[in-house]
Amino acid sequence: MKLGLLTAPFEDASLLEVARWAASVGYEQLEVASWPAAGAEARRYAGTAHLPIEDMTADRAQQIVGELAEVGISISALGYYPNNLHPQAQDRLAANEHTKAVIRAASLMGVSTIGTFVGADPSLSLEDNYARAGQVLPEMVSFAADHGVRIAIENCPMIFSADEWPSGKNIAYSPAIWRRMFADFDPGCHTLGLNLDPSHLVWLMIDIERVVREFAERIFHVHIKDLEIDREGLYEHGSMSAGIGWQVPRLPGLGEVDWRRFVAALYRVGYNDVLCVEHEDRDFEGTDELLKKGFVLARDVIRPLVPQLG
C-alpha cells in the first residue's frame, strides 16, 4: 500500500506545488481534486480545480503525469464529488457531464480510478432516489468501462446541515445499498466500487472490518479520515438527527477509528492500493501552516502501518 492525500484543501496552490510539498514530507500519491475550473461548488472541501479537465489532451495529460513523476509522485485517482442526482435537472446534467469529463481525463492520464458520489435529492425517499440513480448510473458505468476507468463511490451520506435533511445527498452509504447497486449496475465487478472511508461507518454504527471482508473486491480506493462523536451533541440531538450536531470529522488518530485493525483488515483481504488522507479537520485549517501540520500528523499515524522500502 502507498500513502496519499486528496489535494482539495490546497485550493490556492498549483498541483505541482502540492506534489513537491507532499513528496518532501513522505507522501507517495495524490488524489487530484478535479472540479470544474469555471466555479467553485458552494460547500467546504469542494471546488478545487487542480487539472484542466475540460481542456485535457493526450499531450497535456502525459506532461502532467511526467512532471509529477519527476518529484516522486503518482496519481491514485481523480476526485470529483458532486451531487450526480441533483434535484434540479440542469445541475444534475452538469454534474453528470463533468463526471464523464473526469473519466475521460483519467483515461488520457493513465489513471485507473475516479472518486465521486452517486448523489441524492434530500427531499426524496431512498427508493425514489434509487430509481433516479437507475437513470444515471448505468450510462456512467458504461462510459467508464469504455474508457478503462473504475468509478469509486465514497460512502458518505452527505448529511451535515439542514439543507441536506432528511435523506442526505448521497444514497450509497450502507451495505444493503451497495449490494443492490453493484448487482443492478455493475454485476461484472469491474467498474463500480467503493472509495471506502471508515469515518462514516463509525457514526452509522456499521462494522468496519465486516465491510472490508464482504466488499473486498469492490474496494477500489480508501480515504483516511477519522471521526469524533461529540457525546454532548449526541445527548442533545439523539441519533434521529442523523449525525447533525455530533459527527465531527477528524484527522486519523484524533477520533474513534482503530487504524491498526482497519489497515490489518485491508492487508488480510489483499488490498494493495492507496491509503489517501482526506483532511476535513477544522482544528487544522485556516492557515497553510495548520493545514500542512494536519497532513503531517496524519502521515505520522498511518506511515508505521504502510512502511516504505528503500
Residue 296 forms part of a structural domain: yes
The per-residue pLDDT for range 187-207, each reduced to its tens digit, is 987 999 999 999 999 999 999
Question: How many Cβ atoms from other residues are within 10 Å of residue 307's Cβ?
Answer: 8
- For residues 79 and 98, give the distance between their C-alpha atoms in angstroms, rounded to a whole number: 11
Query: Residue 165: which pLDDT band, with cuts at 50, 70 and 90?
Result: confident
Block residue for cell numbers 441533483:
86
Residue 142 forms part of a structural domain: yes
Cα-flanking dihedrals φ and ψ of residue 199, to 5°?
-60, -35
The whole-angstrom distance between residue 148's C-alpha and the CA centroid of its chain comes to: 19
List Cα–Cα distances, 191 to 11, 102, 182, 188, 211, in angstroms: 29, 15, 9, 8, 19
Helix H, strand E, coil C: the string for 85-117 is CCCCHHHHHHHHHHHHHHHHHHHHHCCCEEEEC
Residue 310 forms part of a structural domain: no
Q: What pLDDT was estimated at residue 45?
A: 80
- For residues 130 and 35, give the distance between their C-alpha atoms in angstroms, rounded to a whole number: 24
Looking at the structure of the chain, the number of domains it has is: 1
Query: Residue 40: which pLDDT band, with cuts at 50, 70 and 90?
Result: low
Average pLDDT along the chain = 95
Residue 137 forms part of a structural domain: yes
CATH number at residue 270: 3.20.20.150
Query: Residue 38: which pLDDT band, with cuts at 50, 70 and 90?
Result: confident
Mean pLDDT of 271-300: 97
Query: Residue 287: which pLDDT band, with cuts at 50, 70 and 90?
Result: very high
Residue 43 forms part of a structural domain: yes
The per-residue pLDDT for range 97-114, each reduced to its tens digit, is 999 999 999 999 999 999
Q: What pLDDT was estimated at residue 48?
A: 95
| Full residue range of the structural domain in which residue 296 is found | 2-305
Residue 292 forms part of a structural domain: yes
Mean pLDDT of 235-243: 92
Residue 150 forms part of a structural domain: yes
Residue 133 forms part of a structural domain: yes
Q: What pLDDT was estimated at residue 233?
A: 95
Query: Residue 310: which pLDDT band, with cuts at 50, 70 and 90?
Result: low
CB 30 within 8 A of CB 5: yes
* Residue 60 confidence (pLDDT) above 90: yes
Q: What pLDDT was estimated at residue 308?
A: 84
The H-assigned helical ranges of 121-247 are 126-146, 175-185, 198-204, 208-214, 231-237
